[in-house]
Amino acid sequence: MSSKFLTLCQPRWAEFLSEFHFSITYLPGHLATLLDALSCWDSFYPERGEDFIRKNPMNVQPIIKKDEVLPSRYFSVKVESFPALIDSIQKALWKNSKCRSILQEFCKDTPAGRLLTKFQSVQKDVNRELEVSISRFKRYSDNSRASPPVFNPGDMVWLSSKNIKSRIPTKTLSERWLGPFPILKKVSTHAYHLKLPSQWKSIHPVFHISLLEPVNKSTIPNWHQEPPPPIIIEEE
């Protein structure tokens, strides 16, 4: 502002700064930095905080109520009140759906009602086409896949070593299939419970069917192969 002619912005800043009573002084060293840091505290501005809100109530907009951010508002809900809360939510949803159906009956002849009916029919058509598309993709995918083998309790199976870490230094020297192990029970259509060695305490005995292979009986008569010794695995 030391020039003879002011720019378009300088008069507005001059008018704005004239409302403040201050003086600019030079402080050598770190004193200016210290004062600038202290000026950021609320204690140096008595017109801020609650005093400012009391003096200027129209400038503060209560966007969030105070009781909505207090922790006591959320801790007041007890576990015993959950069933009643769920029941009230279900009743509110039922009432809302009932009111919606009544409004649709009254508003079906209006432009908004006809538009709503059109959107509902379009949504039903889209859902039906999606179900047809999903079933078609499933059928094409199932054609290139074989049905999974079915095992019974007592059958011997090989277990894949893909997810089992052993103490063998290289994976090339380790066995691809471990076992065989007997099946104790069928957990689901795609999972079986195996009887593992007692040394494998850190491994869960339930495995997916993709990790199991049936043991084929030898066609050579009176020939029996002893199972390999259990592999020492890494403990977790």
Per the model's pLDDT, the better-predicted residue between 205 and 232 turns out to be 205
C-alpha closest to that of 214 among 196, 189, 235, 192: 192
Q: 206, 190 in Cβ contact below 8 A?
A: no
| Pick from 213, 219, 209, 210: nearest CA to 181 | 213
Dihedral (CA of 71, 73, 79, 83) sign: negative
Structure tokens at 63: 């966007």
End-to-end alpha carbon distance in the chain: 74
Residue 54 has a pLDDT of: 58
Beta strands in 108-221 (DSSP E): 156-160, 177-188, 191-194, 206-208, 212-214
Kindly state whether residue 8 falls inside one of the protein's structural domains: no
Between 88 and 181, the more confident residue is 181
Together in a domain, 116 and 101: no
Are 136 and 163 found together in one domain?
no
Q: What is the pLDDT of residues 189-207, one digit of tens each?
A: 889 999 888 888 888 889 8
Q: Is the pLDDT of residue 62 over 60?
A: no
Distance between CA atoms of residues 122 and 230, nearest Å: 61
Strand ranges in the chain using DSSP code E only, listed in sequence order? 156-160, 177-188, 191-194, 206-208, 212-214
For residue 146, the model assigns a pLDDT of: 77
Lowest mean pLDDT among 73-87, 182-196, 221-235: 73-87
Query: pLDDT category, 177, cuts 50, 70, 90?
Result: confident
Same domain membership, residue 52 and residue 71: no
Mean pLDDT of the chain: 71
> Could you list the residue range(s) of the whole structural domain that residue 192 is in?
156-214
Residues sharing a CB contact under 8 Å with residue 107, sequence separation 6 or more, in sequence order: 113, 116
In a domain, 7, yes or no: no
DSSP assignment, residue 209?
A: G
Same domain for 90 and 52, yes or no, is no
pLDDT of 70 higher than 50: no
pLDDT at 96 over 50: yes
Instruction: Count the domains in the chain.
Output: 4
| Any domain includes 203 | yes
Is 2's pLDDT higher than 60? no
* pLDDT for residue 229 is more than 80: no
The pLDDT tens digits of the residues spanning 6-52 come to: 677 777 777 777 777 767 676 666 655 555 555 555 554 555 555 55
Under DSSP, is residue 156 helix (H, G, I), strand (E, B) or coil? Answer: strand
pLDDT band at 130 (very low <50, low <70, confident <90, very high): very high
Residue 222 lies inside a defined structural domain of this protein:
no
Same domain, 41 and 90: no
Q: Which of 68-77, 127-136, 165-174 has the lowest mean pLDDT?
A: 68-77
Least confident of 27-31, 59-63, 98-102, 113-117: 59-63
Q: What angle do CA 210, 212, 214 make, to 5 degrees?
A: 125
Q: Which helix (H) or strand (E) holds 73?
A: helix 71-75
151: in domain: no
Within a domain: 225: no
Q: Are residues 189 and 209 in the same domain?
A: yes
Q: Residue 128: is its pLDDT beyond 60?
A: yes
**Residue 116 forms part of a structural domain:** yes
137 belongs to a structural domain: yes
pLDDT greater at residue 167 or residue 121? 121
Averaged pLDDT for residues 100-105: 61
Reply yes or no on whether the pLDDT at 1 is more than 70: no
Residue 182 near residue 192, CB atoms below 8 Å: no
What is the rounded distance in angstroms from the CA atom of residue 141 to the CA atom of residue 164?
30
